[in-house]
Amino acid sequence: MSGTFPRLLIATEFPPNASGGGPAVVRQMLEGWPAEKLSWWSVLPETDTRFGQNVARHHVATIPARLYPQITLPQVKARILDTAWVPFASRHLKKTLQRLQPDVVWAIPHQWSIPPLAKVLPGSIVPFHVSMHDFADAHHLAQRIGTHRTARLLASTHGLYRTAQSRDAISEEMAADLRENTGASPDQILHAGVEPDDFRYLENKTVRTSEAIMIAYAGTIIAEETFILFAESLARIRSHLPRPLELHLFGAHSYQSRHWFDREWMFEHGNLADPELKTAMRGFAWGFAPMELTNDNARYNRFSLPTKIVSYLAAGLGIIAIGHGASTVSRLGNRYSFGPALTELARGTIDAVLQNCLAELDVWSRYGSEILRCARSEFDAGSMRRILWQRLGAVT
Full pLDDT tens readout for the chain, 396 residues:
567 999 999 999 999 999 988 999 999 999 999 999 999 999 999 998 889 999 999 999 999 889 999 888 999 999 999 999 999 999 999 999 999 999 999 999 999 999 999 999 999 999 999 999 999 887 677 788 889 999 999 999 999 999 999 999 999 999 999 999 999 999 999 999 999 999 999 999 987 778 999 999 999 999 999 999 999 999 999 999 999 999 999 998 999 999 999 999 999 999 998 899 999 999 999 999 999 999 888 888 888 888 999 999 999 999 999 999 999 999 999 999 999 999 988 888 999 999 999 999 999 999 999 999 999 999 999 999 999 999 999 987
Domain extent for 116: 8-192+380-392
Q: Is 1 a member of any domain?
A: no
Q: Are residues 216 and 341 in the same domain?
A: yes
Q: Are residues 30 and 121 in the same domain?
A: yes
- Least Cα distance to 219 among 248, 258, 199 occurs for 248
Does one domain contain both 182 and 258? no
Secondary structure element (H or E) that encloses residue 130, with its range: strand 128-132
Question: Does 134 share its domain with 173?
Answer: yes
Does any domain span residue 3? Answer: no
100 and 21 in one domain?
yes
pLDDT score recorded for residue 31: 96
- CATH code at 167? 3.40.50.2000
In 3D space, the residue among 220, 12, 193 whose CA is nearest the CA of residue 105 turns out to be 12
The type of residue at 363 is: V
Residues 270 and 150 in one domain: no
Distance of CA 137 to the CA centre of its chain: 16
Q: How many domains does the chain have?
A: 2
Query: Cα dihedral angle (193, 59, 393, 34), rounded to 10 degrees?
Result: -70
Question: Is the CB of residue 159 less than 8 Å from the CB of residue 178?
Answer: no
Determine, yes or no, domain membership for 2.
Answer: no
The answer to whether residues 44 and 76 touch, using CB atoms and an 8 Å cutoff, is no
* φ, ψ (nearest 5 deg) of residue 224: -70, -35
Burial class (CB in 10 A: 0-12, 13-18, 19+), 315: buried
Quote the pLDDT of residue 91. Answer: 98
